A and B are shown apart, each in its own frame.
Chain A
Amino acid sequence: MSAPAVAVRPAGPRLPRDRGPLSGAVLARLRDATGPLPTEQEAGRADPYGPDLQLALYVLYELHYRGFAGVRDDHEWDPALLSVRRALEQRFLGALRTDVPAAGAEEAMAALLIEPAGDDGSSVSHYLQREGRLWQLREYAALRSLYHLKEADPHAWVLPRLSGRAKAGMAAIEFDEFGAGRAEGIHARLFAALMTDLGLDTTYGRYVDPAPAEALATVNLMSLLGLHRSLRGALIGHFATVEVTSSPGSRRLAEAMRRTGAGPAAEHFYDEHVEADAVHEQVVRREVVGGLLADEPELEPDVAFGIGATGLLEDRLATRLLGAWRADRSALRSPLTET
Protein backbone atom coordinates (compact mmCIF):
# COMPACT_ATOMS: atom_id res chain seq x y z
CA MET A 1 0.00 0.00 0.00
CA SER A 2 1.33 3.42 -0.87
CA ALA A 3 1.67 6.11 1.76
CA PRO A 4 -1.74 7.32 2.81
CA ALA A 5 -2.72 10.69 1.40
CA VAL A 6 -5.09 10.96 4.29
CA ALA A 7 -4.66 13.56 6.94
CA VAL A 8 -4.14 12.75 10.56
CA ARG A 9 -5.39 15.70 12.50
CA PRO A 10 -2.39 17.34 14.15
CA ALA A 11 -4.55 19.42 16.44
CA GLY A 12 -8.15 19.05 17.46
CA PRO A 13 -10.16 17.65 20.31
CA ARG A 14 -8.41 15.16 22.56
CA LEU A 15 -9.75 11.63 22.72
CA PRO A 16 -11.72 11.08 25.93
CA ARG A 17 -10.91 8.36 28.46
CA ASP A 18 -12.71 5.04 28.04
CA ARG A 19 -15.64 3.94 30.22
CA GLY A 20 -15.59 0.22 29.65
CA PRO A 21 -14.83 -2.46 27.06
CA LEU A 22 -16.90 -1.05 24.17
CA SER A 23 -15.54 2.48 24.36
CA GLY A 24 -12.08 1.13 25.21
CA ALA A 25 -11.93 -0.98 22.05
CA VAL A 26 -13.22 1.84 19.85
CA LEU A 27 -10.75 4.34 21.32
CA ALA A 28 -7.89 1.89 20.86
CA ARG A 29 -8.79 1.45 17.19
CA LEU A 30 -8.85 5.22 16.71
CA ARG A 31 -5.31 5.26 18.06
CA ASP A 32 -4.54 2.67 15.37
CA ALA A 33 -4.10 -0.22 17.74
CA THR A 34 -4.95 -3.61 16.25
CA GLY A 35 -7.08 -5.11 19.03
CA PRO A 36 -10.52 -6.54 18.26
CA LEU A 37 -13.55 -4.29 17.95
CA PRO A 38 -16.75 -5.10 19.85
CA THR A 39 -18.96 -7.71 18.23
CA GLU A 40 -22.62 -7.27 17.47
CA GLN A 41 -23.43 -9.58 20.39
CA GLU A 42 -21.38 -7.51 22.81
CA ALA A 43 -23.06 -4.31 21.63
CA GLY A 44 -26.44 -6.02 21.89
CA ARG A 45 -25.85 -6.94 25.54
CA ALA A 46 -24.69 -3.50 26.67
CA ASP A 47 -26.81 -1.11 28.73
CA PRO A 48 -28.30 1.05 25.95
CA TYR A 49 -28.22 4.20 28.10
CA GLY A 50 -25.06 3.30 30.02
CA PRO A 51 -21.75 5.18 30.02
CA ASP A 52 -19.76 2.63 28.00
CA LEU A 53 -22.13 2.40 25.04
CA GLN A 54 -22.94 6.09 25.05
CA LEU A 55 -19.28 7.11 25.05
CA ALA A 56 -18.39 4.63 22.28
CA LEU A 57 -21.21 6.04 20.18
CA TYR A 58 -20.27 9.61 21.02
CA VAL A 59 -16.71 9.11 19.87
CA LEU A 60 -17.79 7.41 16.64
CA TYR A 61 -20.22 10.23 15.88
CA GLU A 62 -17.60 12.85 16.59
CA LEU A 63 -15.65 11.53 13.58
CA HIS A 64 -18.42 13.07 11.45
CA TYR A 65 -18.07 16.50 13.10
CA ARG A 66 -14.55 17.55 14.05
CA GLY A 67 -12.60 14.33 14.55
CA PHE A 68 -9.80 14.10 17.11
CA ALA A 69 -6.20 15.15 17.39
CA GLY A 70 -3.93 12.37 16.15
CA VAL A 71 -6.78 10.39 14.57
CA ARG A 72 -6.99 9.77 10.81
CA ASP A 73 -9.76 11.80 9.21
CA ASP A 74 -10.78 8.86 7.02
CA HIS A 75 -11.68 6.75 10.04
CA GLU A 76 -15.03 8.47 9.56
CA TRP A 77 -15.79 5.98 6.79
CA ASP A 78 -13.88 2.95 8.07
CA PRO A 79 -16.24 0.01 7.40
CA ALA A 80 -15.25 -1.84 10.57
CA LEU A 81 -15.93 1.22 12.73
CA LEU A 82 -19.17 1.90 10.87
CA SER A 83 -20.38 -1.61 11.56
CA VAL A 84 -19.67 -1.17 15.28
CA ARG A 85 -21.54 2.11 15.14
CA ARG A 86 -24.47 0.36 13.53
CA ALA A 87 -24.62 -2.29 16.26
CA LEU A 88 -24.45 0.37 19.01
CA GLU A 89 -27.09 2.46 17.28
CA GLN A 90 -29.41 -0.48 16.98
CA ARG A 91 -29.11 -1.15 20.69
CA PHE A 92 -29.77 2.51 21.55
CA LEU A 93 -32.55 3.01 19.02
CA GLY A 94 -34.18 -0.28 19.97
CA ALA A 95 -34.34 0.79 23.62
CA LEU A 96 -35.82 4.15 22.68
CA ARG A 97 -38.42 2.51 20.45
CA THR A 98 -39.45 0.34 23.40
CA ASP A 99 -39.39 3.08 26.02
CA VAL A 100 -41.01 5.96 24.15
CA PRO A 101 -44.78 5.77 24.46
CA ALA A 102 -46.58 5.79 21.11
CA ALA A 103 -48.39 9.00 20.31
CA GLY A 104 -49.61 11.02 17.37
CA ALA A 105 -47.48 13.94 16.24
CA GLU A 106 -50.27 16.43 16.82
CA GLU A 107 -50.91 15.18 20.32
CA ALA A 108 -47.19 15.12 21.13
CA MET A 109 -46.73 18.66 19.82
CA ALA A 110 -49.76 19.96 21.68
CA ALA A 111 -48.34 18.69 24.96
CA LEU A 112 -45.15 20.69 24.35
CA LEU A 113 -47.13 23.89 23.96
CA ILE A 114 -48.52 23.81 27.46
CA GLU A 115 -46.37 25.58 29.97
CA PRO A 116 -46.58 24.31 33.50
CA ALA A 117 -47.98 27.18 35.55
CA GLY A 118 -45.79 26.17 38.43
CA ASP A 119 -42.78 24.00 38.99
CA ASP A 120 -43.47 20.32 39.62
CA GLY A 121 -39.90 19.85 40.79
CA SER A 122 -38.62 18.04 37.71
CA SER A 123 -37.50 20.99 35.61
CA VAL A 124 -33.86 22.00 35.56
CA SER A 125 -34.57 25.52 34.26
CA HIS A 126 -37.14 26.16 36.99
CA TYR A 127 -34.68 24.94 39.60
CA LEU A 128 -31.82 27.06 38.29
CA GLN A 129 -34.02 30.12 37.98
CA ARG A 130 -35.22 29.86 41.55
CA GLU A 131 -32.24 28.61 43.48
CA GLY A 132 -29.43 27.73 41.09
CA ARG A 133 -26.01 28.65 42.36
CA LEU A 134 -23.14 29.77 40.22
CA TRP A 135 -21.30 26.43 40.50
CA GLN A 136 -24.44 24.65 39.27
CA LEU A 137 -24.77 27.03 36.32
CA ARG A 138 -21.15 26.28 35.48
CA GLU A 139 -21.81 22.55 35.56
CA TYR A 140 -24.91 23.03 33.45
CA ALA A 141 -23.00 25.04 30.84
CA ALA A 142 -20.11 22.55 30.81
CA LEU A 143 -22.55 19.69 30.07
CA ARG A 144 -24.52 21.60 27.49
CA SER A 145 -21.33 22.65 25.74
CA LEU A 146 -21.21 19.18 24.19
CA TYR A 147 -24.12 20.32 22.07
CA HIS A 148 -23.99 24.10 22.09
CA LEU A 149 -20.44 24.30 20.76
CA LYS A 150 -21.83 22.55 17.69
CA GLU A 151 -25.29 24.06 17.98
CA ALA A 152 -27.55 23.30 15.02
CA ASP A 153 -24.86 21.21 13.29
CA PRO A 154 -26.57 17.81 13.70
CA HIS A 155 -29.75 19.23 12.20
CA ALA A 156 -28.06 20.57 9.09
CA TRP A 157 -27.71 17.00 7.84
CA VAL A 158 -31.44 16.76 7.28
CA LEU A 159 -31.56 19.54 4.68
CA PRO A 160 -30.90 17.45 1.53
CA ARG A 161 -33.62 15.07 2.67
CA LEU A 162 -36.36 17.70 2.74
CA SER A 163 -38.12 19.61 0.02
CA GLY A 164 -40.49 22.51 -0.42
CA ARG A 165 -41.81 24.24 2.68
CA ALA A 166 -40.01 21.92 5.09
CA LYS A 167 -36.66 22.60 3.43
CA ALA A 168 -37.16 26.37 3.18
CA GLY A 169 -38.31 26.64 6.80
CA MET A 170 -35.53 24.43 8.12
CA ALA A 171 -32.88 26.33 6.14
CA ALA A 172 -34.21 29.67 7.42
CA ILE A 173 -34.01 28.54 11.06
CA GLU A 174 -30.55 27.09 10.55
CA PHE A 175 -29.48 30.37 8.92
CA ASP A 176 -30.47 32.14 12.14
CA GLU A 177 -28.66 29.54 14.28
CA PHE A 178 -25.53 30.08 12.19
CA GLY A 179 -25.55 33.84 12.73
CA ALA A 180 -27.68 34.98 9.76
CA GLY A 181 -24.60 35.70 7.69
CA ARG A 182 -22.53 37.16 10.53
CA ALA A 183 -19.89 34.98 12.14
CA GLU A 184 -20.15 36.85 15.42
CA GLY A 185 -23.82 35.84 15.64
CA ILE A 186 -23.29 32.07 15.34
CA HIS A 187 -25.10 30.57 18.33
CA ALA A 188 -22.18 28.25 19.08
CA ARG A 189 -20.03 31.35 19.35
CA LEU A 190 -22.52 33.07 21.65
CA PHE A 191 -22.34 29.98 23.82
CA ALA A 192 -18.55 30.09 23.91
CA ALA A 193 -18.85 33.67 25.18
CA LEU A 194 -21.24 32.45 27.88
CA MET A 195 -18.66 29.84 28.88
CA THR A 196 -15.98 32.50 29.13
CA ASP A 197 -18.21 34.54 31.44
CA LEU A 198 -18.55 31.44 33.60
CA GLY A 199 -14.81 30.81 33.65
CA LEU A 200 -15.07 27.64 31.55
CA ASP A 201 -12.68 26.38 28.89
CA THR A 202 -14.24 26.88 25.43
CA THR A 203 -12.11 24.20 23.76
CA TYR A 204 -14.35 21.91 21.70
CA GLY A 205 -14.78 18.57 23.44
CA ARG A 206 -13.16 19.76 26.66
CA TYR A 207 -16.03 18.55 28.90
CA VAL A 208 -16.72 15.13 27.39
CA ASP A 209 -14.82 13.34 30.17
CA PRO A 210 -16.79 14.89 33.03
CA ALA A 211 -20.14 14.46 31.21
CA PRO A 212 -22.33 11.65 32.56
CA ALA A 213 -23.96 9.16 30.19
CA GLU A 214 -27.29 10.97 30.46
CA ALA A 215 -25.72 14.05 28.89
CA LEU A 216 -23.96 12.08 26.16
CA ALA A 217 -27.24 10.38 25.26
CA THR A 218 -29.01 13.67 24.53
CA VAL A 219 -26.32 14.60 22.02
CA ASN A 220 -26.05 11.10 20.58
CA LEU A 221 -29.77 11.21 19.81
CA MET A 222 -29.27 14.25 17.57
CA SER A 223 -26.35 12.67 15.75
CA LEU A 224 -28.25 9.42 15.29
CA LEU A 225 -31.29 11.16 13.87
CA GLY A 226 -29.24 13.60 11.83
CA LEU A 227 -27.07 10.99 10.14
CA HIS A 228 -29.85 8.64 9.05
CA ARG A 229 -32.14 9.67 6.23
CA SER A 230 -34.52 6.95 7.39
CA LEU A 231 -34.90 8.86 10.66
CA ARG A 232 -35.59 12.28 9.10
CA GLY A 233 -39.10 12.40 10.54
CA ALA A 234 -37.72 11.79 14.02
CA LEU A 235 -35.00 14.41 13.49
CA ILE A 236 -37.69 16.95 12.67
CA GLY A 237 -39.69 15.90 15.74
CA HIS A 238 -36.57 16.29 17.86
CA PHE A 239 -35.77 19.70 16.39
CA ALA A 240 -39.34 20.89 16.88
CA THR A 241 -39.14 19.86 20.54
CA VAL A 242 -35.99 21.86 21.06
CA GLU A 243 -37.37 24.96 19.38
CA VAL A 244 -40.81 24.81 20.96
CA THR A 245 -39.57 24.33 24.52
CA SER A 246 -36.63 26.69 24.26
CA SER A 247 -38.21 30.13 24.71
CA PRO A 248 -39.71 29.72 28.18
CA GLY A 249 -36.75 27.63 29.37
CA SER A 250 -34.31 30.23 28.07
CA ARG A 251 -36.24 32.96 29.89
CA ARG A 252 -35.71 31.09 33.16
CA LEU A 253 -32.04 30.45 32.46
CA ALA A 254 -31.48 34.10 31.52
CA GLU A 255 -32.94 35.03 34.90
CA ALA A 256 -30.68 32.52 36.63
CA MET A 257 -27.67 34.10 34.91
CA ARG A 258 -28.81 37.59 35.93
CA ARG A 259 -29.51 36.63 39.52
CA THR A 260 -26.11 35.02 39.99
CA GLY A 261 -24.24 37.79 38.19
CA ALA A 262 -22.83 35.32 35.67
CA GLY A 263 -22.04 38.07 33.18
CA PRO A 264 -23.44 39.87 30.13
CA ALA A 265 -22.57 37.22 27.53
CA ALA A 266 -24.11 34.52 29.72
CA GLU A 267 -27.33 36.51 29.92
CA HIS A 268 -27.23 37.34 26.23
CA PHE A 269 -27.08 33.72 25.05
CA TYR A 270 -30.38 32.93 26.76
CA ASP A 271 -32.02 36.31 26.07
CA GLU A 272 -31.31 35.81 22.38
CA HIS A 273 -32.95 32.37 22.55
CA VAL A 274 -36.13 33.70 24.19
CA GLU A 275 -36.82 35.85 21.17
CA ALA A 276 -35.27 33.78 18.39
CA ASP A 277 -37.00 30.58 19.43
CA ALA A 278 -40.41 32.23 19.71
CA VAL A 279 -39.97 32.78 15.96
CA HIS A 280 -38.35 29.40 15.33
CA GLU A 281 -41.28 27.72 17.04
CA GLN A 282 -43.76 29.25 14.61
CA VAL A 283 -41.68 28.33 11.58
CA VAL A 284 -40.84 24.83 12.75
CA ARG A 285 -44.44 23.94 13.51
CA ARG A 286 -46.11 25.40 10.47
CA GLU A 287 -43.49 25.12 7.77
CA VAL A 288 -41.14 22.35 8.81
CA VAL A 289 -43.40 19.85 10.58
CA GLY A 290 -46.45 20.96 8.59
CA GLY A 291 -44.56 20.87 5.30
CA LEU A 292 -42.92 17.52 5.97
CA LEU A 293 -46.18 15.84 6.95
CA ALA A 294 -47.94 17.32 3.92
CA ASP A 295 -45.23 15.81 1.70
CA GLU A 296 -44.79 12.56 3.60
CA PRO A 297 -47.79 11.91 5.86
CA GLU A 298 -46.52 8.41 6.60
CA LEU A 299 -43.74 9.97 8.71
CA GLU A 300 -46.17 11.10 11.40
CA PRO A 301 -45.31 8.33 13.88
CA ASP A 302 -41.62 9.10 13.39
CA VAL A 303 -42.12 12.79 14.13
CA ALA A 304 -43.93 11.78 17.32
CA PHE A 305 -41.13 9.34 18.13
CA GLY A 306 -38.54 12.11 17.81
CA ILE A 307 -40.54 14.28 20.19
CA GLY A 308 -40.95 11.44 22.68
CA ALA A 309 -37.32 10.30 22.55
CA THR A 310 -36.11 13.84 23.18
CA GLY A 311 -38.41 14.19 26.17
CA LEU A 312 -37.35 10.84 27.59
CA LEU A 313 -33.62 11.56 27.40
CA GLU A 314 -34.02 15.12 28.69
CA ASP A 315 -36.02 13.81 31.63
CA ARG A 316 -33.27 11.30 32.43
CA LEU A 317 -30.68 14.08 32.37
CA ALA A 318 -32.86 16.30 34.56
CA THR A 319 -33.21 13.50 37.11
CA ARG A 320 -29.46 13.08 37.24
CA LEU A 321 -28.76 16.81 37.57
CA LEU A 322 -31.42 17.61 40.14
CA GLY A 323 -30.67 14.48 42.18
CA ALA A 324 -27.06 15.55 42.56
CA TRP A 325 -27.64 19.26 43.06
CA ARG A 326 -30.39 18.83 45.64
CA ALA A 327 -27.94 16.67 47.60
CA ASP A 328 -25.36 19.44 47.20
CA ARG A 329 -23.18 17.18 45.07
CA SER A 330 -21.58 17.73 41.69
CA ALA A 331 -23.64 16.31 38.82
CA LEU A 332 -20.47 15.72 36.81
CA ARG A 333 -18.27 12.63 36.88
CA SER A 334 -15.51 14.83 38.22
CA PRO A 335 -16.19 18.29 39.62
CA LEU A 336 -14.94 21.35 37.77
CA THR A 337 -11.87 23.04 39.09
CA GLU A 338 -12.23 26.58 40.30
CA THR A 339 -11.00 29.24 37.94
Chain B
Amino acid sequence: MEVIGADGTVVVSRRFVVALCTCRRSRSYPWCDTSHRRRSPPGGRAAGPARCPAADRAPEGEDGGAEGEDGGAEGEDR
Protein backbone atom coordinates (compact mmCIF):
# COMPACT_ATOMS: atom_id res chain seq x y z
CA MET B 1 0.00 0.00 0.00
CA GLU B 2 1.03 3.62 -0.53
CA VAL B 3 0.79 6.43 1.95
CA ILE B 4 0.88 9.99 0.62
CA GLY B 5 2.13 12.50 3.16
CA ALA B 6 0.89 16.07 3.61
CA ASP B 7 3.93 17.26 1.67
CA GLY B 8 3.17 14.91 -1.19
CA THR B 9 5.88 12.34 -0.43
CA VAL B 10 4.86 8.75 -1.09
CA VAL B 11 5.97 5.82 1.02
CA VAL B 12 5.20 2.22 0.19
CA SER B 13 4.71 -0.79 2.45
CA ARG B 14 4.25 -4.40 1.41
CA ARG B 15 3.03 -5.54 4.79
CA PHE B 16 -0.30 -7.40 5.17
CA VAL B 17 -1.46 -4.58 7.41
CA VAL B 18 0.20 -1.32 8.31
CA ALA B 19 0.07 0.69 11.51
CA LEU B 20 -0.09 4.40 10.74
CA CYS B 21 1.23 6.80 13.32
CA THR B 22 -1.38 9.27 14.48
CA CYS B 23 0.54 10.64 17.45
CA ARG B 24 3.31 12.20 15.33
CA ARG B 25 5.97 10.94 17.69
CA SER B 26 7.16 8.02 15.58
CA ARG B 27 10.73 8.08 14.41
CA SER B 28 9.65 5.94 11.47
CA TYR B 29 6.82 8.26 10.44
CA PRO B 30 4.32 7.62 8.82
CA TRP B 31 4.56 4.16 10.36
CA CYS B 32 3.90 3.63 14.06
CA ASP B 33 6.99 2.58 16.02
CA THR B 34 5.24 2.40 19.42
CA SER B 35 6.60 5.78 20.49
CA HIS B 36 3.00 6.63 21.43
CA ARG B 37 3.29 4.47 24.53
CA ARG B 38 2.73 5.85 27.91
CA ARG B 39 5.89 6.12 29.95
CA SER B 40 6.49 5.27 33.55
CA PRO B 41 9.23 6.73 35.71
CA PRO B 42 12.32 4.51 35.85
CA GLY B 43 12.00 1.70 38.35
CA GLY B 44 8.28 2.04 38.85
CA ARG B 45 5.51 0.66 36.72
CA ALA B 46 2.70 3.15 36.28
CA ALA B 47 -0.73 1.91 37.21
CA GLY B 48 -3.56 1.69 34.75
CA PRO B 49 -3.68 0.67 31.12
CA ALA B 50 -1.64 2.30 28.37
CA ARG B 51 -3.56 4.39 25.92
CA CYS B 52 -3.42 3.22 22.39
CA PRO B 53 -6.58 4.42 20.72
CA ALA B 54 -6.51 2.03 17.80
CA ALA B 55 -6.14 -0.95 20.03
CA ASP B 56 -8.73 0.36 22.43
CA ARG B 57 -11.01 1.23 19.52
CA ALA B 58 -11.26 4.88 20.47
CA PRO B 59 -11.62 7.40 17.67
CA GLU B 60 -8.39 8.63 16.18
CA GLY B 61 -6.82 11.91 17.14
CA GLU B 62 -7.78 11.75 20.79
CA ASP B 63 -4.31 11.30 22.10
CA GLY B 64 -2.49 9.55 19.35
CA GLY B 65 -1.94 5.91 18.68
CA ALA B 66 -1.49 3.46 15.88
CA GLU B 67 -4.35 2.85 13.54
CA GLY B 68 -4.74 -0.30 11.54
CA GLU B 69 -5.62 0.25 7.90
CA ASP B 70 -6.40 -1.28 4.62
CA GLY B 71 -8.70 -4.10 5.62
CA GLY B 72 -6.40 -4.93 8.48
CA ALA B 73 -6.77 -5.26 12.16
CA GLU B 74 -9.07 -2.34 12.77
CA GLY B 75 -11.56 -3.04 10.00
CA GLU B 76 -12.21 -6.59 11.19
CA ASP B 77 -12.57 -5.73 14.77
CA ARG B 78 -16.17 -4.83 15.48
A residues with a Cβ closer than 8 A to B are 106, 110-111, 113-120, 165, 169, 172, 175-176, 180, 247-248, 251, 274-279, 281-283, 285-287, 290
Contacts and interface: CB of A to CB of B under 8 A. Distances in A.
- Chain B binding site: helix, strand, loop or mixed by DSSP? loop
Contacts of A115: 34, 37-40
A278 B72 CA distance: 13
Given A114-B50, A180-B16, A275-B31, A287 B77 contact: yes
Contacts of A275: 28, 31, 33
Interface of B: 14-19, 27-28, 31-34, 37-43, 45-46, 48-50, 52, 54-55, 66, 68, 72-74, 76-77
Given A116-B39, A248-B34, 10 more contacts: A114-B50, A115-B34, A115-B39, A120-B42, A169-B73, A176-B16, A251-B27, A275-B28, A279-B19, A286-B74
A262 B68 CA distance: 33
A113 B52 contact: yes
Contacts of A286: 55, 68, 73-74, 77
Contacts of B31: 275, 278
B14 A180 contact: yes
A159 to B, nearest CB: 16
Contact of A117 (B41, B49, B54, B76): B41
Contact of B33 (A111, A247, A290): A247
Contacts of A106: 49
Contacts, number: 98
Contacts of A165: 76
Contacts of A276: 15
Nearest to B38: A114
Given A113-B50, A278-B66, A282-B55, A248 B73 contact: no
A276 B16 CA distance: 10
Given A115-B39, A117-B41, A120-B42, A278 B19 contact: yes
A180 B41 contact: no
Contacts of A176: 15-16
Given A282-B55, A282-B73, A113 B16 contact: no
B17 A279 contact: yes
A278 B22 CA distance: 13
B33 A110 contact: no
A30 B47 CA distance: 50
A277 B33 CA distance: 8
